[in-house]
């Protein structure tokens, strides 16, 4: 395997055991915990000045802080996304600056590309011929794209509630798509997960790129925080508001902020705020209850149009809650009406297109501002995890409702 100089292997977040990345590929062989790539940061031969001289190009410009070398990367040019000033939102929230990190600019229109770039690279390094996952939609589409790029076969399991774009593009990329559709209702991500698990039992050679089953998706998403910090001259913002489902991006960004601090590139951690929809807010509930992990919701308790964060049982909630607390961030839930209103406000006031799911970050930031969480000089970053045009139906339908 073509690994980078500082990469040491995979450490289990539960039992603390460390494994060789050549042999351990997914969850902890001892206790089934989540494996996390670890580095000897003393061996990182990179400085902000060196980085400044590198072209943008892709997330692979942070190669030294990733497990695999750029030479073997499965890449479509993901990352290097813009950080856009939002003066009208800053005025409305009463803060110094609002910046929108626009992950909609990624190859398949969401930040899922960063995770799939790294996880698909790992799959190829491990000699896989097939990758498989269940997803709410965007990760499935991204997996199909990266598998096509790597010449692997992809098996994607989506619930019926996933968006048309995500289902269509998964097939356009040539993946084998299964849409779960139980009689009498819209199926949820858990249904897709059961279909995926049954298929994995039948095909033990399929290589999973599912959330927190592969150790590499949150690792790829680390690059969002590295980029953000670099765009801010390594000065941490006062808040990053992140639409949280499984928490892959939030956990990855927090890890990057810790590494940047340890390397002496920045002085502070990045306060991470989890934004969820009130119709599916297990992380916010756990945060408010002072709990270390979430209480799973049942599928029929899920009531939100925000597909990407309709995750009733986020298995990594202990990591999410730890990241929020350690970074001195927070958690906030808003209603679908507030969320979709916020998407339309951002589109009209700033001209920026944000997806329905991502709008939870915008409405969450408004709610936090209202509750006095931010100061008048604060810099608040909204993570726009995906492009508005992936959710046109939901946004247009809301327009009809709100103007009726």
Binding site for ligand PLP (CB under 6 A): 110, 112, 138, 243-250, 308-309, 355, 357-358, 385-386
29: contact with Zn ion by CB under 5 A: no
Task: Name which of Zn ion, ligand PLP, none residue 309 binds, using a CB cut-off of 5 to 8 Å depending on partner kind.
Answer: ligand PLP
Residue 243 interacts with, from ligand PLP, Zn ion, none (CB under 5-8 Å by kind):
ligand PLP
Helices marked H in 175-310: 189-202, 217-231, 248-262, 282-288
Closer of 69 and 363 to ligand PLP (Cβ) = 363
Using CB distances below 5 to 8 A depending on partner kind, what does residue 110 bind out of ligand PLP, Zn ion, none? ligand PLP
- CB-side neighbour CA atoms (13 Å) of 313: 10
Bridge partners (DSSP) of residue 39 are: 7
Site string for Zn ion, 32-71 (x = CB under 5 A): -x--------------------------------------
Residue 15 or 289: the one with the smaller Cβ distance to Zn ion is 15
Q: Which of residues 9-28 bind Zn ion (CB under 5 A)?
A: 12, 14-15, 28
For residue 313, the minimal CB distance to ligand PLP (Å) is 12
Strand ranges (DSSP E) for 62-184? 83-85, 97-102, 130-134, 153-159, 176-180
> For residues 69 and 106, which CB has a smaller minimum distance to ligand PLP in the complex?
106
Strand 35-39 relative to strand 7-12, pairing = antiparallel
Contacts of 288 (CB under 8 A, 6+ apart): 331
Tell me the HSE value of 73 on the side-chain side, using a 13 A CA sphere: 25
**Rounded distance between C-alpha atoms, residue 388 and residue 100, angstroms:** 13
Determine the Cα–Cα distance for residues 193 and 170; give it in Å rounded to an integer: 17
C-alpha span between 298 and 261 (Å, rounded): 39
- As measured in angstroms, the least distance from the Cβ of 318 to Zn ion is 14
Per partner kind, with CB cut-offs from 5 to 8 A, the member of ligand PLP, Zn ion, none near residue 48 is none
Look up residue 15 and give its two tokens. 């039992």
Q: Residue 386 CB, nearest distance to ligand PLP (Å)?
A: 3
**Rounded Cα distance, 215 and 220, in Å:** 10
Closer residue to ligand PLP (CB): 9 or 355: 355
Q: Which two tokens stand for residue 119?
A: 């996880």
Maximum distance among all Cα pairs of the chain, rounded to whole angstroms: 61
Structure tokens at 153: 């076969």
Residue nearest to ligand PLP (CB): 308
Partner from Zn ion, ligand PLP, none contacting 165, C-beta within 5 to 8 A by type? none
> Alpha-carbon distance 191 to 106, whole Å?
28
Nearest distance in Å: CB 255, Zn ion: 18
**H or E element, residue 276:** strand 272-277
Helix (H, G, I), strand (E, B) or coil at 378: coil
- Which of ligand PLP, Zn ion, none does residue 28 bind to, with CB < 5 to 8 Å depending on kind? Zn ion
Shortest Å distance, C-beta 383 to ligand PLP: 8
Nearer to ligand PLP, 27 or 221 (CB): 221
Q: Which is nearer to Zn ion, 25 or 304 (CB)?
A: 25
Residues near Zn ion, by CB under 5 A: 12, 14-15, 28, 30-31, 33
């Amino acid at each position: 395997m073509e690994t980078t100089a500082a990469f040491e292997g995979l450490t289990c977040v539960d039992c603390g055991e460390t494994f060789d990345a050549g042999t351990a590929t997914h969850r902890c062989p001892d206790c089934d915990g989540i494996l996390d790539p670890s580095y000897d940061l003393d061996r990182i031969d990179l400085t902000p000045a060196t980085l400044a001289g590198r072209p943008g190009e892709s997330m692979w410009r942070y190669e030294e802080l990733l497990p695999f070398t750029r030479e073997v990367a499965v890449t479509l040019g993901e990352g290097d996304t813009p950080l856009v000033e939002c003066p009208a939102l800053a005025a409305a929230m009463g803060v110094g600056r609002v910046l929108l990190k626009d992950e909609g600019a990624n190859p398949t229109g969401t930040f899922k590309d960063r995770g799939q770039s790294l996880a698909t690279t790992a799959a190829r390094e491990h000699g896989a011929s097939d990758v498989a996952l269940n997803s709410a939609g965007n990760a499935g589409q991204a997996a199909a794209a990266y598998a096509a790029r790597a010449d692997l076969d992809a098996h994607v399991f989506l619930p019926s509630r996933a968006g048309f774009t995500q289902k269509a593009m998964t097939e356009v990329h040539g993946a084998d798509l299964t849409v779960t559709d139980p009689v009498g209702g819209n199926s949820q991500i858990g249904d897709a997960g059961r279909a995926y698990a049954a298929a994995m039992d039948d095909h033990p050679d399929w290589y999973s790129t599912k959330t927190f089953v592969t150790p590499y998706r949150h690792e790829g998403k680390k690059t969002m925080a590295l980029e953000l910090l670099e765009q801010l001259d390594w000065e941490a913002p006062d808040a990053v508001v992140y639409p949280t489902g499984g928490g892959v991006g939030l956990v990855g960004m927090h890890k990057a902020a810790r590494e940047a601090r340890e390397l002496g590139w920045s002085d502070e951690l990045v306060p991470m705020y989890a934004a969820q929809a009130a119709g599916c807010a297990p992380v916010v509930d756990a945060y408010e209850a002072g709990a270390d992990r979430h209480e799973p919701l049942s599928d029929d308790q899920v009531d939100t149009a925000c597909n990407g964060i309709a995750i009733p049982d986020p298995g990594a909630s202990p990591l999410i809650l730890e990241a929020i607390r350690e970074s001195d961030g927070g958690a906030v839930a808003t209603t679908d009406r507030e969320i979709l209103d916020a998407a339309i406000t951002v589109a009209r006031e700033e001209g920026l297109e944000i997806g329905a799911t991502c709008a939870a970050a915008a409405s969450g930031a408004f709610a936090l501002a209202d509750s006095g969480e931010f100061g008048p000089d604060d810099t608040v970053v909204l993570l726009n995890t995906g492009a508005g045009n992936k959710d046109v139906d939901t946004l247009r339908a809301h327009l009809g409702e709100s103007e009726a």
